Amino acid sequence: MNDPMTPSPFRVERVRKELSDTFTLDLVPADGKRDFPFLPGQFNMLYAFGVGEVPISISGDPSKPDTIVHTTRVVGAVTRAMRNLGVGHTIGVRGPYGTAWPVEEMQGADVVIVTGGIGLAPLRPAIYSILENRSAFGNVSILYGARTPEDILYRKELEKWRGMFDMQVDVTVDYATGRWAGKVGVVTKLIQRGGFHPQDSIALICGPEIMMKFAVQALQDRGVTDDRIYVSMERNMKCGIGFCGHCQLGGDFVCRDGPVFRFDTLADKFAISEL
């Protein structure tokens, strides 16, 4: 019997610095080329030698499964060790785990993507999937909030997507710096003004929990119903497969029943503090 807790060695193929504290690793299996299929929204457990393991969402293109892409922010010992990895280094991978964004169900609907900070990383595979088959979807809006203009993740891609004329990309920052003449304020304000049809829309949200809470409220105020809102939750995880118990949210294991939840299945729990 294979032990699902044993990581597989992967080779770092490429390292990109995204922001002052955020980097992207491209990984391939160390034991030779093989595809690593995943669904947008799923995550891997990444292991840094001798330091530990953390759950990190996959942020690459699902149609290019020969490379796994992870964008990570340095927040603790493991992510710090991961930032120090270079091309040719080995990293341990287990996955992919968890539920996915409802890309199939979104076909024919308007799509509203609401995200803040590094929350754009778990949504990028969904955006790639939409672009792959753009005509199958209605209006597509990406509403993105960052702390400052220097914290805008995947800036070049956001600019490219905005220039494609078939999607709306709206960006706001909490604090303007330098020559920023764009919007200042919380991302939920963009929902109030966003050019989407609430009844026809499916919304995907990923960001800090407090931001998701207000984003849900703003979407509800616009008339988007809970069964058409999806959120991606974050909890402590030691295993990713329902054994360690750390990620429990009521009866749900965020690792297996999530991280992507349809909001109507979560609304009761979301409302209770420290659950």
Partner 1 sequence: MTANKSEALGTFVIAPSELGSLISALREDGYEVIGPKLADGAIVHEPLESADDLPVGYDDEQEGGTYRVAKNGANTYFDYVVGPHSWKRYLFPPDQQLCQMRRQGKTFRLIETKQEIPRYAFFGVRSCDLHAMQVQDKVFDNGEFADPGYMERRKAAFVVVVNCLRPAATCFCASMDTGPRATGGYDLALTELASKGRHEFLVEVGSSRGEEIFAKVSGRPATEADQSAPETASAKAANAMKREMVPDVQALLKRNLEHRRWDDVAKRCLTCANCTLVCPTCFCTTVEDYTDLTGSTAERRRRWDSCFTMDFSYVHGGSVRRETYARYRQWMTHKLSSWFDQFDVSGCVGCGRCITWCPVGIDITEEARAIRDSEGSR
Binding site residues, partner 1, CB under 8 A? 1-7, 9, 11, 30, 47, 49-53, 75-76, 86, 88-90, 92, 234-236, 238-239, 241-246, 248, 250-253, 256, 272-275
Nearer to partner 1, 60 or 259 (CB): 259
Give which of 216, 62, 207 is closest to 124, Cα–Cα.
62
272 class by beta-carbon count within 10 Å (0-12 exposed, 13-18 middle, 19+ buried): exposed
Instruction: Please identify, using beta-carbon distances, which residue of 6 and 135 lies nearer to partner 1.
Output: 6
* Residue number, 192 or 236, with CB nearest to partner 1: 236
Q: Which is nearer to partner 1, 184 or 241 (CB)?
A: 241
Identify which of residues 73 and 222 has a Cβ nearer to partner 1 in the complex.
73
In the complex, the smallest distance separating the C-beta of residue 77 from partner 1, rounded to whole angstroms, is: 9
User: Tell me, what DSSP letter sits at residue 99?
Assistant: -
User: Who's near 195: CB < 8 A, 6+ residues apart?
Assistant: 139, 141, 168
Shorter beta-carbon distance to partner 1: residue 88 or 178: 88
Alpha carbons 242 and 256: distance in angstroms, whole number: 6
User: Cα separation of 147 and 145, whole Å?
Assistant: 7
51/136 with CB nearer partner 1:
51
* 183-184 vs 90-97, strand pairing mode: unpaired
Alpha helices for the chain (secondary structure H)? 77-83, 120-132, 155-162, 188-193, 209-222, 267-270
Directed axis angle between helix 120-132 and helix 155-162, to 10°?
40
Distance CA 56, CA 215 (A): 23
Report, in Å, the least distance between residue 131 CB and partner 1. Answer: 30
Amino acid at 103: V
Q: Please, what is the minimum distance in Å from the beta carbon of residue 208 to partner 1?
A: 8
Give least dist CB 1 to partner 1, A. 4
Q: How far is the CB of 193 from partner 1 (least distance, A)?
A: 29
* Residue placing its CB nearer to partner 1 in the complex, 97 or 161: 97
- Minimum Å distance from CB 38 to partner 1? 16
Least spacing, CB of residue 11 vs partner 1, in Å: 8
At closest approach, how far in Å is the CB of 74 from partner 1?
10
| Side-by-side strand order, sheet with 52-57 | 52-57, 43-48, 90-97, 8-19, 22-29, 68-73
Distance CA 131, CA 45 (A): 27
129-to-100, 118, 133, 162, 215 alpha-carbon distances in Å: 12, 19, 7, 16, 23
